Chains A and B, each alone.
Chain A
Amino acid sequence: MIVTVIAVIFLLSIVVGRFLLDEGRIATNLTIRNAPPSFDHLFGTDWLGRDMFTRTIMGLSLSMGVGLIGAIGSASIALILGMAAATMGKMVDRMISWLIDLFLSVPHLVTLILIAFTLGGGFKGIVIGIALTHWPSLARVIRAEVMQIRSAEFVQVSQKMGKSRWFIAVQHIFPHLIPQVLVGFLLLFPHAILHEAAVTFLGLGLSPHEPAIGIILSESMKYLSSGMWWLAFFPGLCLLIVVRTFDTIGENLRMLIDPTRAHD
């Protein structure tokens, strides 16, 4: 519980921190280029004299924004398709299951790159790409869950009371899905952030002037050999911590909500 609270505070501080930081610190300042980490520049500065700490925080909050929108999109797609597969008859079920298998059989990253590339990259491309690629496993979980609830006696009773499919889906089935969707959504988050960074690192994502983690990492690759380790080390570490934090929150929430694991 304490871990979760700390994790949430940590993530919030990054988002809030973005607005507290001085934009001027990421302006080019050639007098302080290539400075190693110090108290003035916690993560050092890069080859243009930009403060790496500020860039990292901004990059992380941008990544979280992308992750948030992408994860919401993905979770919604998963919810809709999962419900549709389980309630709209055999034909729809078969089609959606096939679609799930199709997307699961290709690595996320490949489809993501393909979609982001087709849409011309940038913020829009990457967000749509993430939303369109991360839903299959959650959709499968939701489909299974819906199928189980659908055969429950209280749903059958409801049908015999003359309730419509829509009523049953919204009133009976949906409340049972909330925990799954919530946990699934949170566990999508780290994936989305990592994949955003990966695609941006490969140059197919956000444009270079935006302070994204992927861009920071790919730019700093050139300078690693000249001994400027702080350029990649701190942003990379921060990305790792943020991703792990989301993962921990998701796992803890699952433990809290999932009755079969409530006593862990």
Chain B
Amino acid sequence: MQLEAKDVGFRYGNGPWLFRGVNVTVEPGEIVGLTGPSGCGKTSFCKVLAGYEKPVEGSITVNHSLLPKNVYHPVQLVFQHPEKAINPRWKMIKTLREGGPLDQELLESLGIEREWLTRWPNELSGGELQRFCVARALGKGTRFLIADEMTTMLDAITQAQIWHVVLEMAKKRGMGVLIVSHEAKLIQRLCHRVIEFHPANA
């Protein structure tokens, strides 16, 4: 199992190329960091990797085969803003179940309290919601996790807690993780290697 982006290029409609010819591989169990200035297309690249957008050029493959459609996607993306990634009209437990059966151990290690499950999204803080997003993305079928500024808006303690769980999971399951962040310290601490995402790629 290997997530591979080969000569990927992307643009919206007929707009300017956000990036072209990007080659990235993530091995199972590997933690890769992705940094770059604002607006250089990191988020778009994440969306392409996770199958939210189709690459205009090149291909994304998992284990040398194209990504499947209409089934559980092996590459899961966690967005920066959990408020938008959770249906405001669903109770939290329903949102969690969307990612598969509940994993009590995972919930506990992420610090998700039992009583939160029956609440509505607007009754929880951003940090609490983000834990749900992470828990949902860590379903059984997830082989690669793309964390797009996943913990940027959280306090240090919560960040540590979430990363701890993700790293543990990566080790245990051999899950590859791609971390996008502006915090050099965080990337340095977590990642096995770091990729600079340059506009020069365009």
Contact indicator B89/A175 (Cβ below 8 Å) = yes
A34-42, A136-144, A152-160: which one contacts chain B? A152-160
The number of inter-chain residue pairs (CB within 8 angstroms) is: 42
* Closest CB in chain A relative to B99 CB, distance in Å: 6
B17-25, B77-85, B157-165, B174-182: which one contacts chain A? B77-85
B29-37, B67-75, B107-115, B183-191: which one contacts chain A? B67-75
**Bound complex: CA A157 to CA B72 (Å):** 10
Contact indicator A154/B72 (Cβ below 8 Å) = no
* Closest CB in chain A relative to B74 CB, distance in Å: 10
B139 at the interface (CB under 8 A from A): yes
Contact indicator B79/A153 (Cβ below 8 Å) = yes
Residues on A with C-beta less than 8 A from B51 are: 160
* Closest CB in chain A relative to B136 CB, distance in Å: 8
Q: How many residues of B contact A (CB 8 A)?
A: 22
Contact indicator A161/B72 (Cβ below 8 Å) = yes
**Bound complex: CA A152 to CA B135 (Å):** 20
**Bound complex: CA A152 to CA B85 (Å):** 8
* Closest CB in chain A relative to B148 CB, distance in Å: 11
Q: A153-B85, A154-B84, A154-B85 are in contact. Are A160 and B70 (CB under 8 A)?
A: no
B201 at the interface (CB under 8 A from A): no
**Bound complex: CA A164 to CA B98 (Å):** 12
A94 at the interface (CB under 8 A from B): no
Within 191-241 of A, Cβ neighbours of B (below 8 Å) are at none
Contacting residue for B87 out of A160, A161, A164, A172, CB 8 A: A172
Q: A153-B79, A156-B52 are in contact. Are A161 and B139 (CB under 8 A)?
A: yes
A162 at the interface (CB under 8 A from B): yes
A244 at the interface (CB under 8 A from B): no
Contacting residue for A162 out of B70, B85, B95, CB 8 A: B70
Chain B residue with Cβ nearest A178? B89
Contact indicator A152/B84 (Cβ below 8 Å) = yes
B86 at the interface (CB under 8 A from A): yes
Within 133-165 of B, Cβ neighbours of A (below 8 Å) are at 136, 139
* Closest CB in chain A relative to B119 CB, distance in Å: 16
* Closest CB in chain A relative to B120 CB, distance in Å: 12
Q: How many residues of A contact B (CB 8 A)?
A: 15
**Bound complex: CA A172 to CA B89 (Å):** 8
**Bound complex: CA A161 to CA B50 (Å):** 11
Q: A interface, by DSSP: helix, strand, loop or mixed?
A: helix
B76 at the interface (CB under 8 A from A): yes
Contact indicator A162/B84 (Cβ below 8 Å) = no
Most buried by B among A152, A153, A154: A154
Contacting residue for B73 out of A154, A160, A171, CB 8 A: A160
Contacting residue for A154 out of B52, B71, B87, B139, CB 8 A: B87
* Closest CB in chain B relative to A165 CB, distance in Å: 9
Chain A residue with Cβ nearest B94? A171
Q: A153-B79, A156-B52 are in contact. Are A162 and B87 (CB under 8 A)?
A: no
Contact indicator B89/A161 (Cβ below 8 Å) = no
Within 161-191 of A, Cβ neighbours of B (below 8 Å) are at 161-164, 171-172, 175-176
Residues on B with C-beta less than 8 A from A157 are: 77, 79, 85, 98, 136
Contact indicator B99/A161 (Cβ below 8 Å) = yes
Residues on B with C-beta less than 8 A from A176 are: 89
Residues on B with C-beta less than 8 A from A163 are: 98
**Bound complex: CA A175 to CA B90 (Å):** 9
Residues on B with C-beta less than 8 A from A161 are: 72-73, 98-99, 136, 139
**Bound complex: CA A56 to CA B77 (Å):** 63
**Bound complex: CA A154 to CA B81 (Å):** 11
Contact indicator B98/A158 (Cβ below 8 Å) = yes
Residues on B with C-beta less than 8 A from A158 are: 98
Residues on B with C-beta less than 8 A from A153 are: 79, 81, 84-85
Residues on A with C-beta less than 8 A from B79 are: 153, 157
13 contacts between A and B (CB under 8 A): A153-B84, A153-B85, A154-B86, A157-B85, A157-B98, A158-B98, A160-B77, A161-B73, A161-B98, A162-B71, A162-B73, A172-B87, A175-B87
**B-binding residues in A (CB < 8 A):** 152-154, 156-158, 160-164, 171-172, 175-176
10 further interface pairs, Cβ-Cβ under 8 Å (given A152-B84, A154-B86, A154-B87) = A153-B84, A157-B79, A157-B85, A160-B50, A160-B72, A161-B136, A162-B72, A164-B70, A171-B90, A176-B89
